[in-house]
Protein backbone atom coordinates (compact mmCIF):
# COMPACT_ATOMS: atom_id res chain seq x y z
CA UNK A 1 0.00 0.00 0.00
CA UNK A 2 1.12 3.54 -0.62
CA UNK A 3 0.94 6.54 1.65
CA UNK A 4 0.96 10.25 0.90
CA UNK A 5 2.09 12.77 3.50
CA UNK A 6 1.52 16.50 3.49
CA UNK A 7 3.21 17.96 6.53
CA UNK A 8 1.91 21.53 6.25
CA UNK A 9 -1.71 21.74 7.47
CA UNK A 10 -1.93 25.44 6.65
CA UNK A 11 0.11 28.10 4.88
CA UNK A 12 -0.45 31.80 4.40
CA UNK A 13 1.33 34.11 1.96
CA UNK A 14 0.82 37.56 0.49
CA UNK A 15 -0.64 38.02 -2.95
CA UNK A 16 2.00 37.90 -5.73
CA UNK A 17 4.43 35.90 -3.61
CA UNK A 18 5.70 32.45 -4.50
CA UNK A 19 4.72 29.53 -2.28
CA UNK A 20 5.80 25.90 -2.20
CA UNK A 21 3.63 23.09 -0.84
CA UNK A 22 5.35 19.90 0.26
CA UNK A 23 4.37 16.30 -0.37
CA UNK A 24 6.16 13.04 0.23
CA UNK A 25 4.98 9.58 -0.62
CA UNK A 26 5.93 6.01 0.07
CA UNK A 27 5.53 3.22 -2.43
CA UNK A 28 7.25 0.14 -3.78
CA UNK A 29 5.56 0.55 -7.16
CA UNK A 30 7.39 1.52 -10.33
CA UNK A 31 4.40 2.56 -12.43
CA UNK A 32 2.60 5.54 -11.00
CA UNK A 33 1.48 9.11 -11.45
CA UNK A 34 1.40 11.97 -8.99
CA UNK A 35 -1.14 14.77 -8.97
CA UNK A 36 -1.99 18.00 -7.21
CA UNK A 37 -5.66 18.83 -6.80
CA UNK A 38 -7.17 22.08 -5.60
CA UNK A 39 -10.42 22.24 -3.61
CA UNK A 40 -11.75 25.79 -3.14
CA UNK A 41 -14.61 26.54 -0.73
CA UNK A 42 -17.06 25.48 -3.45
CA UNK A 43 -15.68 21.94 -2.72
CA UNK A 44 -15.18 21.22 -6.44
CA UNK A 45 -12.01 19.16 -6.90
CA UNK A 46 -9.87 20.69 -9.63
CA UNK A 47 -6.88 18.95 -11.20
CA UNK A 48 -3.93 21.34 -11.07
CA UNK A 49 -1.01 19.35 -12.44
CA UNK A 50 0.18 15.80 -13.01
CA UNK A 51 3.59 14.13 -13.13
CA UNK A 52 4.41 10.79 -14.70
CA UNK A 53 6.91 8.95 -12.52
CA UNK A 54 8.90 7.74 -15.52
CA UNK A 55 9.57 11.30 -16.65
CA UNK A 56 12.51 13.16 -15.16
CA UNK A 57 11.34 16.53 -16.42
CA UNK A 58 9.24 18.44 -13.93
CA UNK A 59 5.72 19.28 -15.05
CA UNK A 60 4.60 22.89 -15.40
CA UNK A 61 1.18 24.46 -15.99
CA UNK A 62 1.33 28.23 -16.25
CA UNK A 63 2.01 29.52 -12.71
CA UNK A 64 2.11 26.01 -11.27
CA UNK A 65 5.17 23.77 -11.37
CA UNK A 66 6.38 20.75 -9.48
CA UNK A 67 9.70 19.61 -8.10
CA UNK A 68 9.68 15.84 -8.50
CA UNK A 69 12.47 14.02 -6.71
CA UNK A 70 11.84 10.34 -7.39
CA UNK A 71 14.66 8.93 -5.27
CA UNK A 72 13.59 11.01 -2.31
CA UNK A 73 9.89 10.29 -3.02
CA UNK A 74 9.16 13.98 -2.90
CA UNK A 75 6.66 15.92 -5.01
CA UNK A 76 6.30 19.60 -4.13
CA UNK A 77 4.08 22.18 -5.81
CA UNK A 78 5.27 25.71 -6.49
CA UNK A 79 2.78 28.46 -7.15
CA UNK A 80 4.28 31.60 -8.62
CA UNK A 81 2.72 35.05 -8.55
CA UNK A 82 0.03 33.80 -6.17
CA UNK A 83 -3.49 35.18 -6.60
CA UNK A 84 -6.46 35.50 -4.26
CA UNK A 85 -8.23 32.80 -6.26
CA UNK A 86 -5.50 30.35 -5.32
CA UNK A 87 -6.91 30.24 -1.79
CA UNK A 88 -8.02 26.61 -1.36
CA UNK A 89 -7.19 23.22 0.07
CA UNK A 90 -4.47 21.53 -1.96
CA UNK A 91 -4.25 17.76 -2.03
CA UNK A 92 -1.35 15.68 -3.24
CA UNK A 93 -2.43 12.35 -4.75
CA UNK A 94 -0.83 9.09 -5.90
CA UNK A 95 -2.09 6.75 -8.61
CA UNK A 96 -0.78 3.28 -9.35
CA UNK A 97 -1.32 1.78 -12.78
CA UNK A 98 -0.68 -1.47 -14.56
CA UNK A 99 -1.62 -3.20 -17.79
CA UNK A 100 -5.04 -3.88 -16.31
CA UNK A 101 -5.78 -0.24 -15.68
CA UNK A 102 -5.40 2.20 -12.83
CA UNK A 103 -6.36 2.17 -9.18
CA UNK A 104 -8.18 4.95 -7.47
CA UNK A 105 -6.30 7.90 -6.06
CA UNK A 106 -4.61 7.92 -2.66
CA UNK A 107 -4.72 11.40 -1.18
CA UNK A 108 -2.68 13.23 1.40
CA UNK A 109 -4.41 15.09 4.22
CA UNK A 110 -4.17 18.40 2.40
CA UNK A 111 -2.69 21.85 2.93
CA UNK A 112 -4.95 24.83 3.42
CA UNK A 113 -3.40 27.68 1.45
CA UNK A 114 -4.51 31.22 2.22
CA UNK A 115 -3.51 34.07 -0.06
CA UNK A 116 -3.65 37.39 1.77
CA UNK A 117 -4.41 40.62 -0.11
Partner 1 sequence: SAVISQKPSRDICQRGTSLTIQCQVDSQVTMMFWYRQQPGQSLTLIATANQGSEATYESGFVIDKFPISRPNLTFSTLTVSNMSPEDSSIYLCSVERPNSYEQYFGPGTRLTVT
Identify which of residues 43 and 117 has a Cβ nearer to partner 1 in the complex. 43
User: Do residues 26 and 2 touch, judged by C-beta distance below 8 A?
Assistant: yes
Q: Is 29 in the site for partner 1 (CB under 8 A)?
A: no
Alpha-carbon separation of residue 16 from 4, 25, 82, 90 (angstroms): 28, 29, 5, 18
Identify which of residues 17 and 36 has a Cβ nearer to partner 1 in the complex. 36
Using CB under 8 A, which of 79, 95, 113, 115 touches partner 1?
95
- Counting residues that bind partner 1 (by CB under 8 A) gives 21
Q: Is 114 in the site for partner 1 (CB under 8 A)?
A: no
Please report, as ranges, the residues that interact with partner 1 according to CB under 8 A.
33, 35, 42-45, 47, 50, 91, 95, 97, 101-110
Amino acid sequence: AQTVTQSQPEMSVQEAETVTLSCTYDTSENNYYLFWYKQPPSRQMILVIRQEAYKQQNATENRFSVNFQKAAKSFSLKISDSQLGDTAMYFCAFLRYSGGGADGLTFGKGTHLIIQP
